[in-house]
Amino acid sequence: MGLLVELQKRIPDGWLLRRLLPATLFVVVAVVGGGQLGWARWSDLNLACQRIASGLRPDQGLTSSSVAVLVLLASAAAAAAFAVPFAASAVAALTCGAWPWWLSPLAQQLTHRHHHRWSQRERIAVEAVRARANGHETRAARLDARRARISPDQPTSPTWSSNRLRTAEQRIKQTAGTNIAESWTTLVLTAPDPAREALIATRDAFDRACEAVVWGLAFTIVGLWWWPSALAGVLVCFASWRALRRSVETLCRITEAVAAL
């Protein structure tokens, strides 16, 4: 543990604990679960240990084949750790609404779905008033909560996060007369220290959530060969998706507050 802490201090941006350790876990799950166990013997850990031991051959000492296996595993983990930021940037682009042209049909469908949901906002409000007038307080409260989850601003993008970011951009332009997309760097550099730290921390939380989405998808894919990995991947995707939305909401609120200073 002391070695990990010391490496954490020496490697910038927590690269070891943030990327290399998850990558190592992913490689182990892929090799042991997907490569050794499979669906038929998904819980046979004794079989996995036997095959790993036969590959490393600990009884024969540190042989050339054992070194080769360890080097291959370490190389795979390092490659996965280096690849994750690039995949996370693609997730961030999709989250912010920058979809490639070949996904434009799906983007249009998602945008239409958000617009249809937004168009139901006033109808839900009317139903809530009627339910409250008829004495159905529980139903009225549910309708009010449902309406509160719908943004009052008309959606124009395929994702909730991209619509939230555009709403914040429009509000800042109306209140401060600033195009935040062009002056983001200036805003960060000229903001007071507490505000700058909050902006950087929130942006870092957004990046971590995007990387978590990538790991969730990767573990889900391994689930094609070992189903427990798919279960873990789906849970990671759901948790990271919630964290991604929270980070976007926090980033928008902090940016609006800093721009108003």
153 Rama class: left (phi>0) / alpha (psi -120 to 50) / beta: beta
Round to whole Å and give the CA distance between 27 and 77. 6
Residue 65 maps to a domain: no
Q: Are residues 132 and 261 in the same domain?
A: no
Question: What is residue 8's three-state secondary structure?
Answer: helix
Provide the pLDDT for residue 14: 62
- Domain-located, residue 35: no
Q: For residues 43 and 164, which has the higher predicted lDDT (pLDDT)?
A: 164
Residue 126 lies in a domain: yes
Q: Give the global pTM.
A: 0.84
Q: Is the model more confident about 252 or about 37?
A: 252
**Number of structural domains the chain divides into:** 2
Does residue 4 lie in a domain region? no
Question: Cα separation of 197 and 31, whole Å?
Answer: 40
* Average pLDDT, rounded, for the chain: 84
Comparison of pLDDT for 152 and 5, the residue scoring more: 152
Compute the average pLDDT of residues 183-187. 82
More confident residue, 261 or 10: 261
86 and 153 both lie in a single domain: no
| Same domain? 110 vs 210 | no
Residue 191 sits in the same domain as residue 249: yes
> Do 165 and 215 fall into the same domain?
yes
Residues 86 and 207 in one domain: yes
Tell me which residue range forms the domain holding 92. Answer: 82-97+160-169+178-261
Looking at residue 219, what is its pLDDT? 94
Structural domain includes residue 107: yes
| pLDDT in the model for residue 10 | 52
Report d(CA 244, CA 88) in Å as an integer: 12
CA 141 centroid distance within chain:
31
What single string gives the DSSP state of each residue in 88-127? HHHHHHHHTT---GGGHHHHHHHHHHHHHHHHTHHHHHHH
pLDDT exceeds cutoff 90 at 242 = yes
Q: Answer whether residue 115 is part of any domain.
A: yes
Same domain flag for 118 and 89: no
Q: Do residues 137 and 194 both lie within one domain?
A: no
pLDDT of residue 105: 92
- Angle, helices 104-119 vs 121-133, to 10°: value is 30
Asked, for residue 20, whether it belongs to a domain, the answer is no
Indicate if 192 and 136 belong to the same structural domain: no
- Between residues 169 and 7, which one has the greater pLDDT? 169
88-120 confidence digits (pLDDT tens): 999 999 999 889 989 999 999 999 998 888 888
Question: Between 118 and 46, where is the model more confident?
Answer: 118
Per-residue pLDDT, 161? 92
pLDDT at 12 over 60: no
Residue 38 falls inside a structural domain: no
Identify whether residues 89 and 112 lie together within a single domain: no
Query: What is the average per-residue pLDDT within 154-159?
Result: 89
Claim to verify: residue 89 and residue 165 sit in the same structural domain: yes
Instruction: Identify whether residues 88 and 198 lie together within a single domain.
Output: yes
What are the helix (H) ranges across the chain?
Answer: 2-10, 15, 21-28, 45-56, 64-95, 104-119, 121-133, 137-148, 160-176, 184-190, 193-222, 227-259
Is 156:185 a contact under the CB 8 Å cutoff? no
